Amino acid sequence: TYLAGLIASAPGASLPVKAFAPWAILFLTLAVLSLVLWRTWAWRALAIPLALIGLMGATGGAPFDLAVPATGDSAALRLPSGQLAVMGQKPSAFAAEQWLRADGDARLSADARSGVACDDLGCVAKAIDGRFVALVAERGAFLEDCTRAAVVVTPLYAPAGCAAPIVIDRRKLGETGAVALRFRADGVEWTAARAIDEDRPWSPAPRA
């Protein structure tokens, strides 16, 4: 136990890495198998291109600029500095840790709050591309945030007249589950945990 604790506390013992691309682990596994199963060096050399492809996927996982859980009561937003910030009055420490670790960030969730302004009605922060993102916790914030923010995130049902270009509310999250957005120059790339027409036993589609 003492040696395990000593090794774990050594500098560099724990190195956070960004989330892999889904196909990266397959090519890395094939590289290892090629190296240990084949008997000739000519066949073993096949491990080199497989490992290179796998490493490309390991370092090129799809990043996100905004992640919202299915509950809609918190979010992870990439700030202009490039770091993630956790939004929400009482964000889940577990969810925040998963967002940070997926980004290769070793900070604790409590340390990832700078750059976010919160009050009793919700939170607001500026995204990496300069657009404002508002997390609405109380209905009283809709009047201002729907007109000023580019993205509105809320666990509530947003009013039908909300003028924000992107609204991620209870109705939207009921259709998609958790979502991750990437802000690009030519638009916004969405990744949803569930397609609108999917109906799973552990994640049923919302009732019509």
Tens-digit pLDDT profile for residues 63-93:
789 999 999 999 999 999 999 999 998 888 8
Flag whether pLDDT at 23 surpasses 80: no
Tokens of 21: 């691309």
Which pLDDT band holds residue 22 (cuts at 50, 70, 90)? low
The predicted model gives 100-126 an average pLDDT of: 88
The better pLDDT of the pair 87, 97 is held by: 87
Quote the pLDDT of residue 132: 96
The predicted model gives 151-170 an average pLDDT of: 95
Give the chain's mean pLDDT. Answer: 85
Flag whether pLDDT at 181 surpasses 90: yes
Rounded CA gap, 204 and 208, in Å? 12
Quote the pLDDT of residue 92: 83
Flag whether pLDDT at 15 surpasses 60: no
Residues 6+ apart with CB under 8 A from 39: none
Which pLDDT band holds residue 139 (cuts at 50, 70, 90)? very high
Flag whether pLDDT at 3 surpasses 80: no
Quote the pLDDT of residue 106: 78
Quote the pLDDT of residue 77: 96
Please name every residue paired with 166 in a beta bridge, in sequence order, or none if there are none.
Answer: 151
Flag whether pLDDT at 207 surpasses 70: no
Rounded CA gap, 59 and 190, in Å? 21
Quote the pLDDT of residue 101: 83
The better pLDDT of the pair 200, 42 is held by: 42
Give the H/E segment covering residue 151. strand 151-153
Flag whether pLDDT at 202 surpasses 70: no
Question: What three-state secondary structure class fits 119?
Answer: strand
Helix ranges (DSSP H) in the chain: 2-8, 24-37, 41-44, 47-59, 93-102, 142-148, 170-176
The model's pTM is 0.72
Quote the pLDDT of residue 100: 87
